[in-house]
Each structure stands twice: as structure tokens, then as C-alpha cells.
Amino acid sequence: MSSNALKTGHVERIRKGLHSAFVSHRPIARTVLHFKTVMRTTELPSCHSDAVVCCVAHPKGHVVLSGGEDAKLCFTDIRTSNSQGALHLPHGDTVASVCCSPMADHAVYAANGRHVVHIDIRKDIGLEAVVDSFRVNTDEINSLNIDSSGSWIAASDDGGEIQVISLSRTGISPIYKTLRKAHNNICCAASFRTGEKLEIISGGLDCRLVRWNVTRLRVVGSLDVGLQQMSGKYSAKFCRGFSSACIKQVAKYSSRQVKFGTLP
């Protein structure tokens, strides 16, 4: 797999697009993190013992949080390039996604197998930092994304479904909505639409971008990136020039723009 494909596939847009973080999917000692700003790119050593799967820059600090196949959530200081420690998540599965709450800087959510783990980073790095862990998805989670109000989290999974879970009540009986029957393969990513209440864009291995109305639990429109076919309100110019490819990542976007990464 080419480095360009890796950069495209694992990009996580931070804030207004001024910062981005991506990972190189290399094992053990050669596993590194890259933090990219407008002016420079810095290679950061990580504390992972296996491949890094995801990473995100904390919006209010100088720390990159990364998850890996070693079931670790690692914290790396961008300024000093030093590791700030690692948290072994309780379920022992790959940490496939990590995101930060836009309303509470201390609240971090990580996908650990089929579970969503809520972590309070104000506490010492250890199991005492794990506030809650809940499971709604029936298959392994690939991505997490929180809406702008910090009220809902979307978790896409290998079964092609998206669980939209209320963060007001998790634990034993979480409140959630299920989006299904639009993807016929793994759903790799789902992102809330900026400025729109409970609208989501998802993408997956079936090469489809799908726009959802979460309140009504229905598809508003879809676009087939691989076959250059579309329905709904998308312009034909949008998919021009794409070859058959799976959609690996979808970024937060404005009312008229969407950014996504593909892998050939």
C-alpha cells in the first residue's frame, strides 16, 4: 500500500482544517505518529507495540491521542515529542477510533472492539480514568464521531450499521438509534454534518457515501464513488474522476462541502 493512500485513508481533520493527523501503519518499533500543520510535519515516536490504527490531536492541548492493535490508547506531547503514558483499555481489542467531546475537553471516547469506552483525561492514566464502557453495536466498531452539541455519538461497524447513541444516558440501558440497510459491506466511517441537527454522512467498503436523517432513520441521498452513480441531491461533478475505491474516512464538513479519504 502506498504512503499516499495511507495518508488519505487515515486523515482526521482537526478544527478548521488547519491541523491534521495521520498514522503510518507500521508494526512494533517502527510504529510512528506524524503530526502535520500548515507549515511543517513532525514525526513522533509512539508507545505502541503494534500497528497504530487511529490518532487525533486534542483540540485544547498539545497532545496527540492514538489507538492501536495492541489495545492501547497512547498520549504523546507534540511540543516535546515525549510519550505521556498509555492506557490499556479493558476489553483487550483493537482501539480503532478515538474522539474528543466538543463540549467537555476532558471527555475522550475510544472504540475498543464492540464497546465504546468513556475516558476522563483529568485523572491519572490508568483504569481509574475509565468512566464508563457501553456496548450497542453488534459488530466491531470502526469509527466514532460526536455531534457539535456533545449529545450524540455515532459508531459505525463491520456489519454496515451505524449506532447513534445518546451521551446523556449510557451504561446498562443506553438510548440509541440504528441506521441500517444502506451499506452492504463494512461501514468504515460516519460523521455528523456541521450546522445540521442530526444529519450524518457515512462511507464504507461498498464505495458508497450515504446521507442520513437520524431523526427519521432514513436515507436522504447517496453516491456511489466506485460506479459514479448517484441519487438524491448530489451533483454529477462531485464523483467525476474517481476509480473504484472503498471510502475509509469521512471528515466533518460545512453545509456545502464534504471531505473523504479512499483506498484503492
pLDDT of 260 reads 52
Q: What share of the chain is helix, strand, coil (3-state, %, to 5)?
A: 5, 50, 45
How far apart CA 222 and CA 206 sit, in angstroms, is 12
211: Cα within 13 Å, side-chain hemisphere: 19
Of 68, 62, 59, give the one whose Cα is nearest residue 89: 68
Instruction: Assess if residue 242 is contained within a domain.
Output: no
Query: In 3D, which of 25, 8, 81 has the Cα closest to residue 264?
Result: 8
Q: Give me the pLDDT at residue 28, please.
A: 36
Q: Each residue of 57-103: pLDDT tens digit?
A: 998 778 999 999 999 999 998 888 888 889 999 898 999 999 999 99
For residue 39, the domain's CATH number is: 2.130.10.10
Answer whether residue 102 is part of any domain.
Answer: yes
The predicted structure's pLDDT at residue 230: 46
Contact indicator for 252, 194 with CB cutoff of 8 Å: yes
- The grid cell for 236 is 454529477
- Does any domain span residue 255? no
CA distance 133 to 147: 19
> Measured between alpha carbons, how far is 74 from 83 in angstroms, rounded to an integer?
8
The single-letter DSSP state of residue 140 is -
Domain assignment present for 80: yes
Domain-embedded: residue 213: no
pLDDT by residue for the chain (264 residues), tens digit each?
A: 443 433 333 333 322 332 334 444 443 334 455 555 555 666 777 789 899 999 999 987 789 999 999 999 999 988 888 888 899 998 989 999 999 999 998 999 999 999 999 999 998 888 899 999 999 999 999 999 999 899 999 999 999 999 999 998 766 678 999 999 999 999 999 999 877 778 999 999 988 889 999 999 999 998 887 665 444 444 444 444 344 467 887 776 555 555 555 444
Kindly report the number of other CB atoms within 10 A of residue 103's CB atom: 13
For residue 28, the tally of other CB atoms under 10 A from its CB is: 10
Domain extent at residue 33:
3-192
Whether the model pTM is above 0.75: yes
Number of domains in the chain: 1
Task: Report if residue 64 sits inside a domain.
Answer: yes
The DSSP secondary-structure symbol of 254 reads -
Nearest to 147 by CA among 78, 193, 210: 193
Could you tell me which of 129, 131, 94, 98 has the C-alpha nearest to residue 113?
94
CB atoms within 10 A of CB 177: 18
Question: Is the Cβ–Cβ distance between 65 and 98 less than 8 Å?
Answer: yes
| Residue 71 φ/ψ region, left for φ over 0, alpha for ψ in the -120 to 50 degree band, beta for the rest | left
> Using CA atoms, how far apart are residues 15 and 156, in angstroms rounded to an integer?
21
The answer as to whether 13 is a domain residue is: yes
Give the position of cell 499516499: 4
Task: Let me know if residue 116 belongs to a domain.
Answer: yes
